[in-house]
Amino acid sequence: VSAVGRLLLVEDEAAQRQILTEILRKEGWDVVAAGSGEEALEALAGPAPELILCDWKMPGISGHEVLDEVRRRGLPCAFVVMTAYGSIAHAVEAIRRGADDYLGKPFERDALLLALRRALKTKRLERENTALRDAVAERDRFGELLGRSEAIQRLFRTLQKVADSEATVLITGESGTGKELVARSLHAESGRAAGPFVPVNCAAIPETLIESELFGHERGAFTGAVRKREGKFEEARGGTLFLDEIASMPLGVQASLLRVLQERRFTRLGGRGEIETDVRVVAASNRELARLVADGSFREDLYYRLNVVPLRIPPLRERPEDIPILTEALLARAERRHSRPAPELPPAVLRLIVEWSWPGNVRELSNLLERLVLLCEQGRLAPEDLPEEMRAPGAAERGGVSLPPGGLDWEQMEAGLLRQALERSAGNRTAAARLLGLGYKAFLYRLEKHGLG
Ligand SMILES: Nc1ncnc2c1ncn2[C@@H]1O[C@H](COP(=O)(O)OP(=O)(O)OP(=O)(O)O)[C@@H](O)[C@H]1O
Ligand SMILES: [Mg+2]
C-alpha cells in the first residue's frame, strides 16, 4: 500500500505532532495537521482524507467525538486511534465505536506504518465488499445464482417455491448455463441443506457400472466386487442426489431408477434386503428429453416421473441483461481465486462482452474472465484483450452509435441513455455511471440537468 493520499493527523501535543508530521510526509502522505478536536472537525469540512490518525484523549472535543462525527457522516476514511500506554480500555472503546486500528503510545515508526497499512487495507476491503453487495441486490440472487433478467427472476421464484418440497426436479439447458449450480442452490435452500449433495455424472460412468454406482453392491455380486459398497442413493441419504446428464443413462438402468423413484426403496446389487431411500432427486440434461422420448432412447414413464417440476435455463444470449452482473461477480471470483486484482473494465469492453453470443454460456464467460484476470498487465482491459472473434467488425459496430441522416436531439438522447443506465443498474448510481463511462460527479451533474436526480 503506497501512501499517496490525504491524511488528517489530530494530536494536541505540539512536539508529537511535529515528529509525526515529518515521518508521515516522508512516507508520501499529504498531511493535514490539527492541534485539537475542534480543528479536526474544521478540516473535515474540506476534502475527505483517506486516513485519520487521531489522539484519543484531548481537552475539548476528544478523539471519540471526532470518530463519531466521521462515522455519522459516513465518510469512507480509515481511522486509527492513538491511546496512552496502558489504557487498553480506551483502545477497546475506540474499536467498538468503529475505529479500524489503534496504537498504544509511545510507538515506533514501524508500528505506526504497519497500523496505517492495515487500516487502509481493511477499509479498502470494506469498500470492495459494499461495492459487491451494491452491485448484486438481494433480489438478483438465489443462493449462488445471479441474474436479473425476466427469465432468471422467474426461475428464482419457482426455485423458491419448490426448494422445500420433495418434488423431483428436471433441469434442462445448454451446456454451461448453470444447471449444476441451480441444483446446488436448490439443495442449499432446501430443508435438506444440512444433508449431503451428491452429484453423479451419468455420462462419465461406463454403462456396466452405473447400476452399482447408484445402488451399491454386496461382496461378490459380480466379478470384481471384492467388497461390499454403498451406492450414491445411500451416500445421499438425507440430502440431494443430482443425476447429471441423465440422457446418457442406459435404458436398462432407467427402468431400475424408475422403480426406485416409485417405490422409494431399492436393493443393492447381489443383495436381498430392501433399503428405504431418503433422497431428493434432481436431474439435469443439456438435451431436450422430450425429443429423446419421441425417438425411443428415453423412457416416457421415467421422463414424466422426473419432470414433476421442469426448470429450463435459457442460454445466455437470450438474457443479455444478466451479463453485466455476472461479469462483475465472476471477475471478483477470479480475483479471489488467483489473489490477483481484477483489471478495470471500461464500458467499451463490457459492451463487446454483452453483445457476444456466448455459445458456451456462463462457463465460457467465466473462463474468459479468469483468463483476463491472469493475463491482463495494464490493470485496465482494452478491446484488444478480448478474443478476436468478439472484436469482429460486426460485433463492434452493432453497439456503435452513428448519427442518423436527419440528425438527432442531443438532450433527449442523453436523458434517454441516463434513464436506461439507471434502469439497467436497478437505480445504483455508481454502476449506472460506470455503464456510461462517466465519472460519478459528471454523472450526477447530468442527472440534475435532466431533472432525474
Ligand atoms: N446464474 C449464475 N450465476 C452465477 N454463476 C453462474 C450462473 N450460471 C452459471 N454460473 C457459473 O458458470 C459455470 C458453469 O455452470 P454449471 O457447471 O452449473 O453449468 P452446467 O449447465 O452444469 O454445464 P454443463 O452442461 O456443461 O455441465 C460455473 O462456474 C457456475 O458457477
Ligand atoms: Mg454440469
> What's the pLDDT score for residue 393?
58
Query: Does ligand 1 come within 6 angstroms of the Cβ of 147?
Result: yes
Residue numbers of the chain with a pLDDT score lower than 70:
1-4, 85-86, 129-137, 393-405
> What's the pLDDT score for residue 136?
63
pLDDT, one tens digit per residue, over 346-357 is: 888 888 898 898
What residues contact 56, with CB distance under 8 A and at least 6 apart? 62, 63, 64, 81, 82, 83, 84, 87, 90, 94, 102
> What's the pLDDT score for residue 397?
47
Query: Does ligand 1 come within 6 angstroms of the Cβ of 36?
Result: no
- Residue 301 Cα, ligand 1 centroid: separation in angstroms? 29
* Among 414, 404, 412, 413, residue whose Cα is nearest residue 438: 414
> What's the pLDDT score for residue 422?
92
Mutating to test ligand 1, I would choose from 154, 171, 180 the residue with most ligand atoms within 8 A of its C-beta, which is: 180
Q: 143 exposed, middle or buried (CB, 10 Å; 0-12, 13-18, 19+)?
A: middle
d(CA 123, CA 233): 47
- Residue 110 Cα, ligand 2 centroid: separation in angstroms? 51
d(CA 51, CA 9): 9
- Residue 363 Cα, ligand 1 centroid: separation in angstroms? 6
Q: Return the C-alpha cell found at 215.
A: 445402488
> What's the pLDDT score for residue 322?
93
- Residue 345 Cα, ligand 1 centroid: separation in angstroms? 22
The count of other CB atoms within 10 Å of the CB of residue 345 is 18
- Residue 33 Cα, ligand 1 centroid: separation in angstroms? 53
Mutating to test ligand 1, I would choose from 149, 181, 319, 330 the residue with most ligand atoms within 8 A of its C-beta, which is: 181
d(CA 360, CA 387): 14
Mutating to test ligand 1, I would choose from 177, 187, 202, 328 the residue with most ligand atoms within 8 A of its C-beta, which is: 177
* Among 157, 198, 199, 155, residue whose Cα is nearest residue 177: 155
> What's the pLDDT score for residue 157?
94
d(CA 284, CA 177): 11
d(CA 308, CA 134): 36
Distances (CA, A) of 99 to 43, 94, 102, 367: 19, 5, 7, 39
* Torsion angle in degrees (nearest 10) through CA of 439, 444, 450, 453: 150
Query: Does ligand 1 come within 6 angstroms of the Cβ of 181?
Result: yes
Query: Does ligand 1 come within 6 angstroms of the Cβ of 314?
Result: no
pLDDT, one tens digit per residue, over 153-194 is: 999 999 999 998 999 999 999 999 999 999 999 999 999 999
Q: For 427, phi and psi rounded to 5 degrees?
A: 85, -5
Q: Which helix (H) or strand (E) holds 192?
A: none
Q: Return the C-alpha cell found at 111.
A: 508500528
> What's the pLDDT score for residue 403?
64
* Torsion angle in degrees (nearest 10) through CA of 84, 87, 92, 98: -20
3-state secondary structure 251-284: HHHHHHHHHHHHHCEEECECCCCEEECCCEEEEE
What residues contact 175, with CB distance under 8 A and at least 6 apart? 286, 360, 361, 363
Atom of ligand 1 nearest to the CA of 181: 18
Looking at ligand 1, which residue's alpha carbon is closest to its atom 31?
Answer: 181
Query: Does ligand 1 come within 6 angstroms of the Cβ of 362?
Result: yes
Cα four-point dihedral sign 329, 331, 332, 334: positive
User: What pTM value is reported for the model?
Assistant: 0.62
* Among 156, 99, 134, residue whose Cα is nearest residue 311: 156
> What's the pLDDT score for residue 396?
44
3-state secondary structure 298-345: CCHHHHHHHCCEEEEECCHHHCHHHHHHHHHHHHHHHHHHHCCCCCEC
